[in-house]
Amino acid sequence: MADEVKKEVPARFKVTIDNITIEVAPGTTILNAARQIGGDVTPPAMCYYSKLQGSGGKCRTCLVEVEAGSAADPRPMPKLVASCRTAVMDGMVLKNITSERVLDARAGVVEFLLLNHPLDCPICDQAGECHLQDLGYEHGKEGTRYEFKRRTFEKEDIGPYIQLHMTRCILCYRCTYVADQLTDNRVHGVLERRDHAEISTYISKAIDSDFSGNMIDVCPVGALTDKTFRFKNRVWFTKPVDAHRDCENPKCCGKVTLWQRGDDVLRVTARKDQWGEVQSFDGKPGWICNTCRFDKKHSNDWVVEGPTKVSRHSVISQGHYIDMQMPKEIMPEVMGGRAPKLLMDIQDISEVNSVDIGLLPGPATSKTFEKKEQ
Amino acid sequence: MQLTNKAKQVDRRPMTFLESIYLWNIIKGMGITISHLFKRKATIKYPEQKRPFSQVFRGLHVLNRDAEGRENCTACGLCAVACPAEAITMEAAERLPGEEDLYREEKYAAKYEINMLRCIFCGLCEEACPKDAIYLSETFAPANYGRKGFIYKKEDLLIPHPINEKEAYEKALGNKAKR
């Protein structure tokens, strides 16, 4: 190889993914090139997060097949490569959903990710927006072959607002990158190795950084959840609206999604893009501070911009009436100004919504409802 | 234009004397009536006698308990999202330490309501339930004088305790759950 002439690097690399050719800047990873094409061609990613430096390469769900390494050396790569960590070469030919090997490997990866993951989706607050749920649904197999005892941990509180449910963790390390890159001093990380590895706060030390809440947003599963939203409602019964406020914190973006029930704000999250990542505003990722996320739970704290666009394939859009036009109320007009007599007002009889659980600091318990009855 | 060949010419001849006293037609009609006295009756005497339910009958909802009497429902909301009539609402709560014998999972439905005025008894809630917590029994929703009585709360829907009220539990379980 000594006599190889070093050619000039072209300004744009031509890559072909699943027979779709695109030109990308040198240094782009395969995953980001695929994201520029979009759609089904994009490999799923559980650990890679474009806004967190150094993330990726851990979960292996984004494996793709390299059919031709580059225009200069068109030999295929023997193994599947992790697309989030592999940079494209000029003339690279890749196969994602058109490759049997990739689909088979991905089903295997999903099976491994679900080895220790509990199937408590009916309980988990992440259900409906969980990336592992989507991954299992799209790429996984129906059953499990695992017959042994699953790894379980006690629930742990990371600070007053965040609950860590280590049993559900898939060790993507995204939250530790948040701690490294967003907060001043990292107090939590991964302890132990292998099957015993767990995210912990070095003896449950509270995280009091202003941006610690963002680890809830980056968590692809329900391992890190918002304690102020715990068991309050299911995401598909809440109404997501875009809102903003002028936050005093200069690093906070202040642009959020409110998850409302009626006018009650049940949960505040950062705005997500189509890949489930925090949206960027003016080139900066829109991380939000803990004050915005956990303390501003009144709708008059926020300036509402309008309903969040939710994919119609998402369960979150189920039962939501978009662009609904209410028919004109003609009864008072016909009856000479008298309103019709209601035979029953459901609000008088229903016991649901009798307690304003949206404003509770934690989940409702039997005590919440006892107090009401007294 | 003739569409079918079933058209009959109307007979407009004047009636004869025998026809005009209608006796023959009355005898013919009474014959049919009297013959039914000797045939098997199509009706039953309802409250005393009851017809067997079809195997796929979908009646009043029951919220199930497990063998130890703990509530199965975890308030996951899948029944409510599956419900085409939007009849189901619920409110979840966290199980406190010491309540383990009441609820099977760490989350449970503190409030659970079905609006029977809205319910169309389609059984989609039963199909959606991942915890085998709701099923449609072989009972009708009883009649009521007011609309208020058709908002079924959790205590109206919950099956009796299988250990403390064994007989009532067996009765509520019905044939469907046994199958």
Do A84 and A17 have their domain in common? yes
Number of domains observed in the structure of chain A: 3
**Chain B residues within 8 A of A153 when measuring between CB atoms:** none
**Chain A residues within 8 A of B103 when measuring between CB atoms:** none
| pLDDT value, residue A142 | 79
Do A74 and A103 have their domain in common? yes
Q: What is the CATH number of the domain that holds A79?
A: 3.10.20.740
| pLDDT value, residue B121 | 93
Q: Tell me the residue range of the domain where B148 lies.
A: 61-178
Residue B126: both structure tokens together: 């039963």
Let me know if residue A62 belongs to a domain: yes
Let me know if residue B124 belongs to a domain: yes
Residue-wise DSSP of A160-180: TTEEE-GGG-----HHHHHHH
Let me know if residue A358 belongs to a domain: no
Let me know if residue B166 belongs to a domain: yes
Q: Structure pTM?
A: 0.81
Let me know if residue A275 belongs to a domain: yes
Residue A274: both structure tokens together: 């189509």
pLDDT in tens, B22-54: 898 899 999 999 999 999 988 899 889 888 888
Q: Given A317, A345, A365, which residue is the final one in a domain?
A: A317
Give dist(CA B169, CA B179) in Å, integer.
16
Q: Which of residues A95 and A343 earns the better pLDDT score?
A: A95
| Interchain proximity B110–A120, CB inside 8 Å | no
Q: Which of residues A371 and A356 earns the better pLDDT score?
A: A356
Among B107, B125, B154, most A C-beta atoms within 10 A, so best to mutate, is: B107
- Per cent of chain B over pLDDT 70 is 97
| Interchain proximity B92–A367, CB inside 8 Å | no
Let me know if residue B40 belongs to a domain: no
**Chain A residues within 8 A of B111 when measuring between CB atoms:** 351-352, 354, 369
| Interchain proximity A366–B99, CB inside 8 Å | yes
| pLDDT value, residue A203 | 44
pLDDT in tens, A238-277: 999 999 998 888 888 889 999 998 888 999 999 998 888 8
Among B90, B94, B100, most A C-beta atoms within 10 A, so best to mutate, is: B94
| pLDDT value, residue B103 | 92
pLDDT in tens, B123-168: 999 999 998 899 898 888 788 888 888 999 999 899 999 888 888 8
**Packing angle, helices A100-113 and A131-139, rounded to 10:** 140
| Interchain proximity B92–A231, CB inside 8 Å | yes
Let me know if residue A323 belongs to a domain: no
- Using the predicted structure, report yes or no on whether residue A80 has a pLDDT greater than 70: yes
**With bands split at pLDDT 50, 70 and 90, how would you rate the model's confidence at A1?**
very low
Number of domains observed in the structure of chain B: 1
Q: What is the CATH number of the domain that holds A184?
A: 3.30.70.20
Q: Strand A303-307's sheet: what is its strand order? A: A264-270, A255-261, A239-244, A303-307
Q: Tell me the residue range of the domain where A251 lies.
A: 235-317
Let me know if residue A359 belongs to a domain: no
Q: Which of residues A182 and A246 earns the better pLDDT score?
A: A246
Let me know if residue A258 belongs to a domain: yes
**How far is B139 from chain A, CA to nearest CA, in Å?**
23
- Using the predicted structure, report yes or no on whether residue B114 has a pLDDT greater than 90: yes
- Per cent of chain A over pLDDT 70 is 91
Question: What number is the average pLDDT over the span A11-19?
Answer: 91
Of B75, B93, B115, the CB nearest to A366: B93
Let me know if residue A83 belongs to a domain: yes
Q: What is the CATH number of the domain that holds B163?
A: 3.30.70.3270
Q: Given A203, A226, A249, which residue is the final one in a domain?
A: A226
Question: What number is the average pLDDT over the span A315-338?
Answer: 84
Whole-complex ipTM? 0.81
Do A166 and A219 have their domain in common? yes
Q: Given A191, A226, A261, which residue is the final one in a domain?
A: A226
